[in-house]
A = this chain, B = another copy of it.
Amino acid sequence: MKISELSQQSGVPIPTIKFYLREGLMAPGELVKARESAYGTSHLRRLRLIRGLIQVTGASIEQVRQLLDIIQTPDQSAIEVVGRASVALSSRQAGSVPDWSGQDTAATEALLDRLGVEYMAGSANVRMLAGALDLAEQVGLPSTDEQLAAYVRAAREAARADFGRIPWEDPGEAAEWAVLGTVLYEPVLAVLRRLAHSELAGWIERDGEPGTGAGR
C-alpha cells in the first residue's frame, strides 16, 4: 500500500510516519517507483506498536528504539524475545513511581527468597518493589509476608492469563504482546483490585463477612 493508505489505516499522520522512517524505527518500504514506496502489514503492525508504547507508557523515541532493537534481534525464539523484552521494560520507570535507582534491595531480596519468587538480584524490578515496600513502611502501612504471598499468587494468576494470550507461533507478534501487554494490562489489574475492594466492603456490610471466594 502507499504511505497515504498506511496513514489512513493506522491513523498516524504521514509526517509522523516519515519521522519514524527517518529515525529508523520502521524498515523502509519497498521502492516501486523513483519517489514511491510500498508498505505492508508489517509496517502497519510496527506503527501500532510504536504508537501504543508512546501513548501508554509515555516512552521517548529513544526508549521505543531500545525496545524495538530487542524485538527485532534475529534468530531468537519467542520465549527468548519475551524474556528479554520483559527485562528491558523493567528498566523503565512505571508512570508516577519515583526513581528507585539508589534503592537498597537486600531486605526485598530476602523477602522474595522467603516467598519463593525468582528474580535477578539488583534488577530494576526488584529496586522498584523495594522502593514501594519501603514507602509503605515509612507511612506506617508495612506489608506482611502473608499479604505478599497472596499478591504473588495473584500476580502469577494474572501472568499465566497473559501468557495464554501470547501468539507464541510468531516471535515478532509474541514480542509485541510481551512489551505492550505488560504495560497495557497493568491499569486493568489495578482497577479490578479497586473494584474488588468495593465488592468486599459491600459483602461485609451486607453479610458481615468478606466472602470465601466460593462462587465469586
Contacts and interface: CB of A to CB of B under 8 A. Distances in A.
Interface of A: 45, 48-49, 51-52, 55-58, 79-80, 82-83, 86-87, 89-90, 94-98, 112, 116-120, 125-126, 128-129, 132-133, 135-136, 138-141, 143-144, 146-148, 150-165, 176-178, 180-182, 184-202, 204-205, 210, 213, 216
Contact of A191 (B116, B128, B140, B165): B128
A75 to B, nearest CB: 15
A125 B191 contact: yes
20 contacts: A45-B140, A52-B141, A117-B199, A118-B199, A132-B185, A136-B180, A136-B181, A141-B184, A143-B185, A150-B158, A154-B161, A154-B192, A157-B213, A159-B199, A160-B210, A162-B197, A182-B193, A186-B193, A189-B190, A189-B193
**Secondary structure class of chain A's binding surface, majority of residues:** helix
A132 B199 contact: no
Contacts of A55: 98, 135, 139
Given A147-B162, A159-B196, A129 B191 contact: yes
Nearest to A49: B139
Q: How many copies does the complex hold?
A: 2
Contact of A146 (B133, B152, B164): B164
B155 A161 contact: no
A107 to B, nearest CB: 14
Nearest to A90: B194
A55 to B, nearest CB: 7
Given A56-B139, A82-B197, A162-B197, 19 more contacts: A49-B139, A55-B139, A83-B202, A83-B205, A90-B194, A94-B95, A94-B190, A95-B96, A118-B202, A119-B198, A125-B198, A132-B191, A147-B165, A148-B161, A151-B189, A155-B196, A156-B199, A160-B196, A182-B194
A87 B198 contact: yes
A101 to B, nearest CB: 15
A151 B159 CA distance: 9
A82 B188 contact: no
